[in-house]
Homo-oligomer: A and B are copies of this chain.
């Protein structure tokens, strides 16, 4: 029942339908009370939905197989992140609407951890010099997040991603110490492959 409600809510969100308590209960085939026994009302359900969104994102990023080029891997993670957000834009927006108070913030941070790990490998491989993996991951994340939200909000066209994401990633990675040419090649390989 719990998972049925969460998945139904996520489905309605993806389908751009208004996620209302009554419609949700009807779809699942139960009454509105179920949301109150399994969650703390609608706010609790939204928390669970956001959590599920982060779980899906983490799974998606975990599917990106590491290679011997950590900078390529960072770009590939960015591509997977962007693809996930573009497939479920409403869910992505909802995730960050109140990402501060999540039922299990630690689990939600798993996706970010993958990024930090890859940045750490880049430091270990000597691609990044004198760079804090957390700082690099944060900057990559913030840049991509901002651009993605502008695209999802239709402020920028979808093509803006292909135009600016590789450039932004290359800028961040180069600033972290990577060689400009090599960085561009790695980013290109990871982004489009």
Binary interface encoding of chain A residues 125-157 relative to chain B, with 1 for a CB under 8 A from any of its CBs, else 0:
000000000010011011111111110011110
Binds B, one of A12-20, A34-42, A71-79, A165-173: A165-173
Q: How far is the CA of A100 from the CA of B150 in the complex (A)?
A: 9
Q: Which of B97, B148, B175 contacts A167 (CB 8 A)?
A: B175
Residue of A96, A97, A146 ringed by the most chain B CB atoms within 10 A: A146
Q: Which of B96, B97, B138, B147 contacts A142 (CB 8 A)?
A: B147
Contacts of A168 in B (CB 8 A): 139, 142-143, 172
Chain A interface SS verdict (over half): helix
In the complex, the answer to whether B99 meets A135 with C-beta atoms within 8 Å is no
Residue A188 interfacial (CB < 8 Å): no
Contacts of A171 in B (CB 8 A): 139, 171-172, 174-175
Report the minimum CB–CB distance from A141 to chain B (whole Å). 8
Residue A106 interfacial (CB < 8 Å): no
Q: How far is the CA of A94 from the CA of B128 in the complex (A)?
A: 38
Binary interface encoding of chain A residues 177-189 relative to chain B, with 1 for a CB under 8 A from any of its CBs, else 0:
0000000000000
Interchain residue pairs A-B with the least CB separation, the first 3 = A146-B146, A171-B175, A100-B154
Chosen A-B contacts, 22 in total, with CB atoms closer than 8 Å, are A98-B153, A99-B155, A100-B153, A135-B164, A138-B156, A138-B164, A141-B146, A141-B150, A142-B146, A142-B147, A142-B150, A142-B156, A143-B143, A143-B146, A144-B146, A145-B149, A146-B147, A146-B149, A149-B149, A171-B171, A171-B175, A174-B175
Report A's interface with B, CB cutoff 8 A. Answer: 96-100, 135, 138-139, 141-150, 153-156, 160, 163-164, 167-168, 170-172, 174-175
